Structure 1
Amino acid sequence: MSLQVRQLRHAYGKRLVLRDVTFEVPDGALVGVVGENGAGKTTLLRILCGELTPTGGAASHTGRMGYCPQQAVLNDAFTVRQHLWFFRLAYRLPDTRRGEELMDGLRFADCRDERVGTLSGGTRQKLNLTLALMHDPEVLLLDEPYQGFDWDTYLRFWELAQQLRDRGRSVLVISHLAHDTARLDTVYRLGAGVLRPDATAGGGR
């Protein structure tokens, strides 16, 4: 299994926000975690990406990890092309070819020389997703990945997610919306820090 979470617990002081969360994202699977605001999704993501140490339990993964946060970490003063160049250096990639391919697929290659500060919210999110995928990670964490997308881009996102699954990648989508669950292989619902399988959803293949 590429991503395994076992008995994960976390508390802020006396307030327990994750309660023995256990699940896995196998190779070649699209898995979703759905929950309302305050359910513990942000804390779970921070632990999974290594930003936060849990109070108890463990999360582990194999291979490279990619993380697409809900709030894009972009610099308004730099162009799209410069962001690709910076991330190429950070990932120690030989070139930006993968990033260019993703830009073509998401239909914003014509924005490569525009400063990020001039981009629409949807295009910023396309860049956010592209940067998370540039190094071709085996495990991908997506936090509300399609907010701001128009319908065409939304469909292209799911095509890309399915391509990643078909290539054996492990993709975890975390969202407060439940209308995409039919596109996922397995769906869990997080409420008050407790994770439960959703037997009415999933089966995205």
Structure 2
Amino acid sequence: MGRGALVVEDVWKSYRRRRILCGASLQVPTGTLVGVVGENGAGKSTLLRIICGQLTPDAGAVRRPNRLGYCPQHVVLDETLTVDQHLRFFQVAYALPHLRRARELLEVLGCAEYRGERVGVLSGGTRQKVNLVLALMHDPPVLVLDEPYQGFDWQTYLRFWELAGKLRGRGRSVLVVSHMAYDMDRFDEVAELRDGTVRPLRGAAAPAEAARAR
């Protein structure tokens, strides 16, 4: 696999006597867009936390680059701060020399006009846009997105997929996790998390077919 790819190898995880992951394995090669679907309670959040290093597996391993972009389903924003203040905070955290990329992303997602607004007054969809910008603004080689388009209107939904395609075209690896498989032909690969394992989902388009569909 290429440099910067994400690899999950035979990961197991239990909470007390309840087994959540039973040898889950997943690969997101460089420059691909991969979807993982699963019902509520299937273990998606556990898998994501292990991928991002927030949780240690009982067994197995995860290989990921030093820089990872993670957009959780629940926004990680402070309601008392403005959008711009969030950008500056994460600029320091990521050691970025400027905010050019972040402001470009705000424009792409149609929320640049809210830069001076406190997050507490924004709609749920706009908060999710800001949440996504914070995950992407340092241009990481691997992106892990949990229900990233939740609350988006139709136009923003389309902008998201356009952005995801451009990221893949620039060699970024993008993993989208959702409880439903939207627009399967947009993915290079789609898998399902079920019974603690990740399995290829029948009907997923092959990479060449997905490219032609776009």
- State whether TM-score is above 0.5: yes
CA contact (8 A) 1:80 1:115 kept: yes
Matched, 1:123 2:126: yes
Question: Which residue matches 1:30?
Answer: 33
* Cα deviation, residue 22, structure 1: 1.2
What is the alpha-carbon root mean square deviation over aligned residues?
0.9
Whole-Å separation in 1 of the counterparts to 2:85 and 2:16: 42
* Cα deviation, residue 61, structure 1: 1.2
Q: Structure 2: state its 5+ residue gaps.
A: none
Question: Which residue matches 1:49?
Answer: 52
Whole-Å separation in 1 of the counterparts to 2:77 and 2:44: 22
Q: Aligned AA for 1:174?
A: V
Question: Which residue matches 1:174?
Answer: 177
Question: Which residue matches 1:100?
Answer: 103
SS at match of 2:53: coil
* Cα deviation, residue 14, structure 1: 1.8
* Cα deviation, residue 28, structure 1: 0.3
Deviations 1:78-103 (A, max 9, x none): 11111100000000001111100000
CA contact (8 A) 1:25 1:172 kept: yes
CA contact (8 A) 2:25 2:197 kept: no
Matched, 1:62 2:52: no
* Cα deviation, residue 62, structure 1: 2.5
Whole-Å separation in 1 of the counterparts to 2:197 and 2:113: 44
* Cα deviation, residue 180, structure 1: 2.6
Question: Which residue matches 1:74?
Answer: 77
SS at match of 1:155: helix
Question: Which residue matches 2:89?
Answer: 86
Query: 4+ residue runs of structure 1 moved beyond 6 angstroms?
Result: none
CA contact (8 A) 1:69 1:142 kept: yes
CA contact (8 A) 1:6 1:20 kept: yes
Deviations 1:87-133 (A, max 9, x none): 00000001111100000111111110011001011100000000000
* Cα deviation, residue 193, structure 1: 1.1
Whole-Å separation in 1 of the counterparts to 2:183 and 2:152: 14
Q: Aligned AA for 1:4?
A: V
What TM-score do you get using the length of structure 2 for normalisation?
A: 0.93
Deviations 1:16-45 (A, max 9, x none): 110111120000000011000011101000
Q: Provide the aligned length of Structure 1 versus Structure 2.
A: 205
Q: Aligned AA for 1:171?
A: V
CA contact (8 A) 1:30 1:165 kept: yes
